[in-house]
Amino acid sequence: MKYKIALLPGDGVGEEVIQQAKKCLEAVEEVFHHEFIFQIGVIGAKAINTYETALPKDTLRICKNSDAILVGTIGNHKFNNNPVAEVRPEHGLIQLRKELGLYANIRPLRIFPSLVDKSPLKADIIKGTDMLIFRELSSGIYYQNKEDATKAQSASDVCKYTEEEISRIAHLAFKAAKNRNNRVTLIDKANVLNSSKLWRKVVRDIAQSYPDVALEYQFVDHAAMKMIAAPNRYDVVLTENMFGDILADESSMISGAVNTLPSASVGEKQALFQPVHGPYTELKDKDLVNPVATILATAMLLEHFRLFEEAMAVREAVDKSIAKGIVTKDLDANSQYGTNHVGDFIANHILGHDDRINMNNENIDLGKSTII
Ligand code: IPM
Ligand code: MG
């Protein structure tokens, strides 16, 4: 099959991680006889520098004209200390979500058995954790009725939701739960916020159509504690935009391996995939950044194309690299492997060409370099 994939490397280490992900997609292309047509677009700080906007028209056009979008990382700390900057790198992403109607952000949290000791939590607390967060992405406080802080003495952001906005993501969450462990936890602040009361009403009604799925409610402050105390009790988590932003980052710490976590942002027509981690500007061009989160984002992208066998090949290759200790220094301080080598290992594994890079299993098991 033929697919058009937009690649938006963005800022910082984005270019490097996208290159590794592209290598893996090319390996999938070869093994499974597909044709991937890549189109590159600029976004974020890099776009601001040249076009004075974080989302140039050309980039939006490329995205609209593609079957899926793969984003690297966006942001630059030089914008962080200016709260009234008119353009900011991350506005590119916020605008893209709106323009493309990407209303659901989906973040899986999975613990790699060999990385259990990376977690700041005890092994028996995180044991069995397998969570899927559905965060509403195109409405709520991020988008509704904003009063500009640059022009007045006061400022406001309004959190408003419609039934339709809640129901479309709720259905996605319940459908996902049906294929997993049949549990949805709706996280809100319904003891205080009217928008949360609407979430409860709409989600409770939708739950009637999914009799096999148990629905529970949690207030967001309580959930923030529970997620750390007992992360393995969650299956599918459903929440609004800002609570989701915060809880998704909290959950990413549970694994202790944030650089292995991907995310998907989906709408009716388009879908965008990216790593959860930030631009790590200080690591740029040093061959140090971990490419795994972006490579796993491509596995989610392939699943979106319903290429399940292909996605599995990518996941198996990543599992193998982690199990064999072919990882970057963030996962093993003694590792001698860089971004490129990890990407090559994973791509070669997909190609079934493990021998070509002179892998010696005995050395790999000992954690020694296998490059001859
Ligand atoms: C995320 C990020 C973005 C958000 C930023 C970069 C605007 O934190 O995707 O979670 O807040 O949604
Ligand atoms: Mg965030």
Quick one: pLDDT at residue 144? 78
If one counts the domains in the chain, the total is 2
Give 57-93 pLDDT, tens digit per residue.
999 999 999 999 999 999 998 887 777 777 899 999 9
| CATH code: domain of residue 139 | 3.40.50.2300
136 in ligand 1 pocket by Cβ < 6 Å?
A: no
Nearest atom in ligand 1 to 245's CA: 10
Distant-in-sequence, close-in-space partners of 55: CB < 8 Å, separation ≥ 6: 43, 47, 91, 92, 95, 96, 99
Residues 247 and 264 reside in one and the same domain:
no
Q: What is the DSSP letter of 330?
A: T
pLDDT tens for the chain, 372 residues long, are 999 999 999 999 999 999 999 999 999 999 999 999 999 999 999 999 999 999 999 999 999 999 999 999 999 988 877 777 778 999 999 999 999 999 999 999 989 988 999 999 999 999 999 999 999 999 999 987 777 766 678 888 999 999 999 999 999 999 999 999 999 999 999 999 999 999 999 999 999 999 999 999 999 999 999 999 999 999 999 999 999 999 999 999 999 999 999 999 999 999 999 999 999 999 999 999 999 999 999 999 999 999 999 999 999 999 999 999 999 999 999 999 999 999 999 999 999 975 444 445 544 444 444 332
CA–centroid distance, 315 to ligand 2, in Å, is 24
Select from 130, 131, 210, 132 the least CA-distant residue to 167: 210
Quick one: pLDDT at residue 81? 74
Q: What is the DSSP letter of 253?
A: H
pTM equals 0.93
Q: Assess if residue 231 is contained within a domain.
A: yes
Q: What is the DSSP letter of 32?
A: H
Strands 130-136 and 104-110: antiparallel
Q: Assess if residue 148 is contained within a domain.
A: no
Strand ranges (E), 128-208: 130-136, 144-147, 156-158, 183-188
For residues 45 and 75, the answer to whether their CB atoms sit within 8 Å is yes
Q: Coil, strand, or helix at residue 145?
A: strand
Residues 260 and 192 reside in one and the same domain:
no
Give 237-259 pLDDT, tens digit per residue.
999 999 999 999 999 999 999 99
Quick one: pLDDT at residue 147? 72
Residues 243 and 300 reside in one and the same domain:
no
Residues 128 and 241 reside in one and the same domain:
yes
What count of residues does the chain have? 372
| CATH code: domain of residue 359 | 3.40.718.10
Q: Assess if residue 111 is contained within a domain.
A: no
What percentage of the chain carries pLDDT values higher than 90? 87
Residues 246 and 260 reside in one and the same domain:
no
Residues 10 and 130 reside in one and the same domain:
no
Residues 66 and 25 reside in one and the same domain:
yes
Q: Assess if residue 150 is contained within a domain.
A: no
For a ligand 1 pocket test, name from 71, 245, 261, 265 the mutation site with the most ligand atoms within 8 angstroms of its C-beta.
245
Query: In this structure, which residues have their CB less than 5 angstroms from ion ligand 2?
Result: 245
Residues 314 and 246 reside in one and the same domain:
no
Quick one: pLDDT at residue 354? 59
Q: Assess if residue 323 is contained within a domain.
A: yes
Select from 45, 107, 126, 158 the least CA-distant residue to 275: 107
310 in ligand 1 pocket by Cβ < 6 Å?
A: no
For residues 327 and 337, the answer to whether their CB atoms sit within 8 Å is yes
Structural domain of residue 266, as residue ranges? 1-103+255-372
User: Phi and psi (nearest 5°) for 289?
Assistant: -70, 145
Cα separation values, 132 from 16, 186, 259, Å:
27, 12, 17
Q: Assess if residue 110 is contained within a domain.
A: no
258 in ligand 1 pocket by Cβ < 6 Å?
A: no
Q: Assess if residue 215 is contained within a domain.
A: yes
Q: Assess if residue 112 is contained within a domain.
A: no
Residues 131 and 243 reside in one and the same domain:
yes
Q: Coil, strand, or helix at residue 258?
A: helix
User: Phi and psi (nearest 5°) for 68?
Assistant: -160, 160
Q: What is the dihedral of CA 227, 232, 235, 241, to 10 degrees?
A: 20
Q: Coil, strand, or helix at residue 337?
A: coil
Residues 126 and 243 reside in one and the same domain:
yes
Residues 207 and 321 reside in one and the same domain:
no
For residues 152 and 165, the answer to whether their CB atoms sit within 8 Å is no
DSSP string over 273-326 = EEESS---GGGTTTT-S--HHHHHHHHHHHHHTT-HHHHHHHHHHHHHHHHTT-
